[in-house]
Amino acid sequence: MADLRALQETAKAKWEALEQAPRILVGDADCGRAQGSQGVLSAFRQEIERRHLSATVMPVGCLGLCSSEVLVRVIRPGKPPIVYGSVTPTRVPAVVEDALTSDRPRDMALGTWGDSNGWGLPNLLEDPGLRLQTRIATQDCGSIDPWDIDHYIANGGYTGLGRALGMTPQQVLDEVKNSGLRGRGGAAFPVGRKWEFLATAPGPVKYVACNAEEGDPGAYNDRRLMESNPHLVLEGVTICGYATGAVKGFIHVRTESALSVARLRRALEQMYANNLLGQNILGSSFSYDIEIKETGEAYECGEETALMESVEGKRGFPRARPPFPAQVGIFGKPTNVNNVKSYAFAPIIMARGAQWYASYGTEKSKGTILLCLSGNIVRPGLSEVPMGITLRQAIEVVGGGIPNGKALKAMQLGGPLGGFLPPSALDMVLDFDSLAGTGAMLGSGGNVVLDQDQCIVQFTRLLTAFNQKESCGKCIPCRVGTKRVLEIYDAIVHGQGRPEHLDRILELAQTMTSGSLCGLGQLAGTPLRASLRYFKEEYEAHVKDKRCPTGQCDMGKE
Q: Say which amino acid occupies 301.
A: C
Asked whether residue 136 is assigned to any structural domain, the reply reads no
Q: Are residues 336 and 237 in the same domain?
A: yes
pLDDT in tens, the chain (558 residues): 558 999 999 999 999 999 999 999 999 999 999 999 999 999 999 999 999 999 999 999 999 999 999 999 999 998 889 999 999 999 999 999 999 988 777 778 999 998 877 788 899 999 999 999 999 999 999 999 999 999 999 999 999 999 999 999 999 999 999 999 998 877 789 999 999 999 999 999 999 999 998 888 888 999 999 999 999 999 999 999 999 999 999 999 988 899 999 999 999 999 999 999 999 999 999 999 999 999 877 788 888 999 999 999 998 899 988 999 999 999 999 999 999 999 999 999 999 999 999 999 999 999 999 999 999 999 999 999 999 999 999 999 999 999 999 999 999 998 888 899 999 999 999 988 888 777 777 777 789 999 999 999 999 999 999 999 989 889 999 999 999 999 999 999 999 999 999 999 999 999 999 999 998 899 999 999 999 999 999 999 999 999 999 999 988 654
The reply to whether omega before 60 is within 30° of 0 (cis) is: no
Q: Would you state the pLDDT for residue 72?
A: 97
Final residue in a domain of this structure, among 407, 431, 451: 451
The span from the CA of 100 to the CA of 22, in Å, is 8
Q: Are residues 339 and 286 in the same domain?
A: yes
Q: Would you state the pLDDT for residue 2?
A: 59
Q: Are strands 248-254 and 289-295 parallel, antiparallel or unpaired?
A: parallel
Final residue in a domain of this structure, among 81, 114, 131: 131
The separation between CA 118 and the C-alpha centre of its own chain, rounded to angstroms, equals 36
The span from the CA of 388 to the CA of 366, in Å, is 9
The span from the CA of 478 to the CA of 298, in Å, is 15
The span from the CA of 305 to the CA of 317, in Å, is 8
Asked whether residue 265 is assigned to any structural domain, the reply reads yes
The span from the CA of 304 to the CA of 316, in Å, is 10
DSSP line for 233-298: HHHHHHHHHHHHT-SEEEEEEETT-HHHHHHHHHHHHHHHHTTSSBSSGGGSS--BEEEEEEE-S-
**Cα 287 to Cα 173, 190, 219, 243, 418, distances in angstroms:** 18, 26, 34, 12, 40
Asked whether residue 143 is assigned to any structural domain, the reply reads no
Asked whether residue 317 is assigned to any structural domain, the reply reads yes
Q: Are residues 279 and 411 in the same domain?
A: no
CATH of the domain at 315: 3.40.50.11540
Q: Identify whether the C-beta of residue 201 lies closer than 8 Å to the C-beta of residue 334.
A: yes
CB atoms under 10 Å from CB of 352, counted, come to 17
Measured at the alpha carbon of residue 128, what is the angle toward residues 349 and 232, in degrees to the nearest 5?
25
Asked whether residue 238 is assigned to any structural domain, the reply reads yes
CATH of the domain at 391: 3.10.20.600
Number of domains in the chain: 4
Q: Are residues 59 and 103 in the same domain?
A: yes
Rg for the chain, CA atoms, rounded: 24
Final residue in a domain of this structure, among 114, 131, 148: 131
Asked whether residue 137 is assigned to any structural domain, the reply reads no
> 97: domain range?
21-131
CATH of the domain at 125: 3.40.30.10
Asked whether residue 144 is assigned to any structural domain, the reply reads no
CATH of the domain at 506: 1.20.1440.230
Q: Are residues 461 and 443 in the same domain?
A: no
Q: Are residues 304 and 447 in the same domain?
A: no
Asked whether residue 237 is assigned to any structural domain, the reply reads yes
Q: Are residues 251 and 178 in the same domain?
A: yes
Q: Are residues 308 and 259 in the same domain?
A: yes
Q: Return the bridge partners of 413, or none.
A: 447
Q: Are residues 318 and 172 in the same domain?
A: yes
Q: Are residues 346 and 374 in the same domain?
A: no
The span from the CA of 157 to the CA of 346, in Å, is 12
Q: Identify whether the C-beta of residue 517 lies closer than 8 Å to the C-beta of residue 320.
A: yes
Q: Are residues 393 and 535 in the same domain?
A: no
Could you give the dihedral angle defined by the CA atoms of residues 164, 165, 171 and 173, in that order, rounded to the nearest 10 degrees? 60
Q: Are residues 375 and 416 in the same domain?
A: yes
